[in-house]
Amino acid sequence: MSIEVALKAAELDIDLRERARKIGIGEPSLLDAIVLATAMVLDASLITEDEHLKGRPDVIWIGGG
């Protein structure tokens, strides 16, 4: 993992945990933040059904509901 991804993942981990608490879902894993950070650094699309990433403008969410 690059330093850039690690630093971005640390930021995102805090954001994802705060959001999860606000909307009443379980805590995300650090891996959620690492995957999202990697996609962001690579300027790649992230397609997921992970509820922790739902609603983010940088994610294509394919989950139900």
Q: Identify the bridge partners of residue 47 per DSSP, sorted by sequence position.
A: 60
Query: At 65, is the pLDDT very low, low, confident or very high (cuts 50, 70, 90)?
Result: low
Rounded CA-CA distance 14/49 in Å is: 20
Q: Which helix (H) or strand (E) holds 31?
A: helix 30-41
pLDDT at 64: 75
pLDDT at res. 38: 98
The helix/strand/coil state of 40 is helix
Q: What are the pLDDT digits (tens) for 2-60?
A: 999 999 999 999 999 999 999 999 999 999 999 999 999 999 999 999 999 999 999 99
Residues in Cβ contact with 60 at an 8 Å cutoff, skipping those fewer than 6 apart: 45, 46, 47, 48
How many domains does the chain contain in total?
A: 1
Query: Which residues span the domain enclosing 12?
Result: 3-61
Calculate the average pLDDT of the chain: 95
